[in-house]
Amino acid sequence: MKWYWGIAGSFLLVLVGLMLGKKLTSTVLAIYLAASLFAYLVYAYDKSAARRQQWRIPERNLHLIALIGGWPGALLAQQRLRHKSKKGEFLLVFWATVALNCGLLWWWVR
């Protein structure tokens, strides 16, 4: 198993556990899943636009999608599509958004 599947899958299991423990509603889980799917599709579109040398999605928008809960899908897209996976400054901000999102989730459920 690739490391990024482990991170995304583990986070999903944590969400399911929080839902089963009545700390989160199924709506929150659905929001994370929808945001992750949206993030993956946006990354795929941006990768395609980059190849065609067309208008690109601003990086701040990619980070915002990750921050609102789409980071698992963004992580999968980065690795599977090889998009934004080597750009150091982008990855630094990306992982900061992951930490912030997880921190806010922890604050909410504690």
* Separation of alpha carbons 58 and 63, rounded Å: 9
> What's the whole-number mean pLDDT along residues 93-106?
97
Q: What integer pLDDT is reported at residue 4 of this predicted model?
A: 85
pTM of the complete model beyond 0.95 = no
The mean predicted confidence, pLDDT, of the chain is 95
DSSP code for 85: S
pLDDT bin (cut points 50, 70, 90) of residue 86 is confident
Question: Which helix (H) or strand (E) covers residue 43, if one does?
Answer: helix 26-52
- At 19-73, the pLDDT tens digits run 999 999 999 999 999 999 999 999 999 999 999 999 999 999 999 999 999 999 9
pLDDT bin (cut points 50, 70, 90) of residue 5 is confident
- The radius of gyration of the chain from alpha carbons, rounded to an integer in Å, stands at 14
* Separation of alpha carbons 17 and 28, rounded Å: 12
